[in-house]
Amino acid sequence: MSLDQFADPIMVVVAHPDDIEAHCAGTIIQLLEQGKRVGYVLATSGNCGTSDPAMSAERLGGLRESEQRAAAEIVGVRDLTFLRYEDGDLTFHVPELRADLTRLIRQYRPRTVITHDPYPGNGSLDSCAIYPDHTTLGLTVFQAAYLRAPSPLCEPKQLREGLPLHKLDMLMLIMSGAPDVFVDIEAVFDRRIQALRQYKTQGRDRPEVDAFFRRIARQLGEHADYTLAEGFRRLAPT
Ligand SMILES: [Zn+2]
């Protein structure tokens, strides 16, 4: 069963509020139903994601964090970390970001990390996949998870503080053009949409949201004979 490929504990690391609900919340709902532990890390609070000239970045960041908390409540996740990097700017903060992610991985000790595909390819179902925040974060998580967290020579200050080295089992990549793990989400699709509807600042409460995400889930489902699915690309340790 595809859910068995997500060893627990599971850390979900994404660039913006709503990335999880748009791509993998149906899987997370079912992992929680199996009693698995799941925590979220948000690299930015999406504080530039508006076309409203009257909105401030500070207010938007706060609103989107509230929306993320409400969506996580519907999914059943209580462990949320907001790193609050500037939205759209992750490419320019890789050294700090990889140190933060290495620390979180050493603290949380996940066996699976779900994050963005750094090389989503032309076949991606979502043009947002090549947004630099997504690809940069995917690559930085890869570096933190597989190269830095297990190395005694990387971020040694964290080790002197008492954090242990850690190597996880598997990265599971969302927004990939080459998914190879498919999770049946038909039974929880409505709950995923309910979580997505919390993002009013992003227009996710509009009626057409259901049809848009249903179409993507149906396309992913065709790979595995499911009606509605989410898809991931497995990336094994180096
Ligand atoms: Zn995003």
CB atoms within 10 A of CB 217: 23
How far apart, in whole angstroms, are the C-alpha atoms of residue 136 and residue 118? Answer: 7
Q: How far is the CA of 45 from the centre of ligand 1 (A)?
A: 10
Residues 36-60: what's their mean pLDDT?
A: 92
Residues 208-212: what's their mean pLDDT?
A: 93
**Residue 121 has what DSSP assignment?**
-
Give me the chain's average pLDDT, please: 95
Predicted confidence (pLDDT) at residue 219 exceeds the cutoff of 70: yes
Q: How far is the CA of 15 from the centre of ligand 1 (A)?
A: 5
Residues 45-72: what's their mean pLDDT?
A: 92
**Close Cβ partners of 116 (under 8 Å, ≥ 6 residues apart):** 14, 15, 19, 129, 134, 135, 137, 138, 141, 173, 174, 175
* Residue 50 banded pLDDT, cuts 50, 70, 90: confident
> pLDDT tens digit string along 17-43?
999 999 999 999 999 999 999 999 999
Please name which of 15, 11, 25 lies closest in space to residue 198, comparing C-alpha atoms: 25
Q: How far is the CA of 156 from the centre of ligand 1 (A)?
A: 31
Q: How far is the CA of 79 from the centre of ligand 1 (A)?
A: 19
> pLDDT tens digit string along 158-180?
999 999 999 999 999 999 989 99
Q: How far is the CA of 161 from the centre of ligand 1 (A)?
A: 33
Give the pLDDT of residue 124: 59
Give the pLDDT of residue 123: 62
Q: How far is the CA of 44 from the centre of ligand 1 (A)?
A: 9
Predicted confidence (pLDDT) at residue 216 exceeds the cutoff of 70: yes
Domain count, the chain: 1
Q: How far is the CA of 162 from the centre of ligand 1 (A)?
A: 33
Cα 146 versus chain centre, distance:
17
Q: How far is the CA of 164 from the centre of ligand 1 (A)?
A: 31
**Close Cβ partners of 2 (under 8 Å, ≥ 6 residues apart):** 181, 182, 183, 184, 224
**CATH number where 178 lies:** 3.40.50.10320
Predicted confidence (pLDDT) at residue 228 exceeds the cutoff of 90: yes
Give the pLDDT of residue 127: 74
Residues 133-150: what's their mean pLDDT?
A: 97
Predicted confidence (pLDDT) at residue 51 exceeds the cutoff of 90: no
Please name which of 41, 14, 27 lies closest in space to residue 137, comparing C-alpha atoms: 14
> pLDDT tens digit string along 71-129?
999 999 999 999 999 999 999 999 999 999 999 999 999 999 999 999 988 665 667 87
Please name which of 103, 95, 74, 73 lies closest in space to residue 13, comparing C-alpha atoms: 103
Q: Which residues surround ligand 1, an ion (CB under 5 A)?
A: 15-16, 19
* Complete DSSP assignment for 67-107: HHHHHHHHHT--EEEEEEEPTT-GGGGHHHHHHHHHHHHHH
Return the percentage of the chain with pLDDT > 70, whole number. 98
Range of the domain at 12: 2-235
Q: How far is the CA of 95 from the centre of ligand 1 (A)?
A: 20
CB 24 within 8 A of CB 232: yes
What three-state secondary structure class fits 161? coil
Tokens of 148: 């830095």
Q: How far is the CA of 238 from the centre of ligand 1 (A)?
A: 26
**Close Cβ partners of 205 (under 8 Å, ≥ 6 residues apart):** 197, 198, 199
* Residue 49 banded pLDDT, cuts 50, 70, 90: confident
Give the pLDDT of residue 22: 95
Predicted confidence (pLDDT) at residue 2 exceeds the cutoff of 70: yes
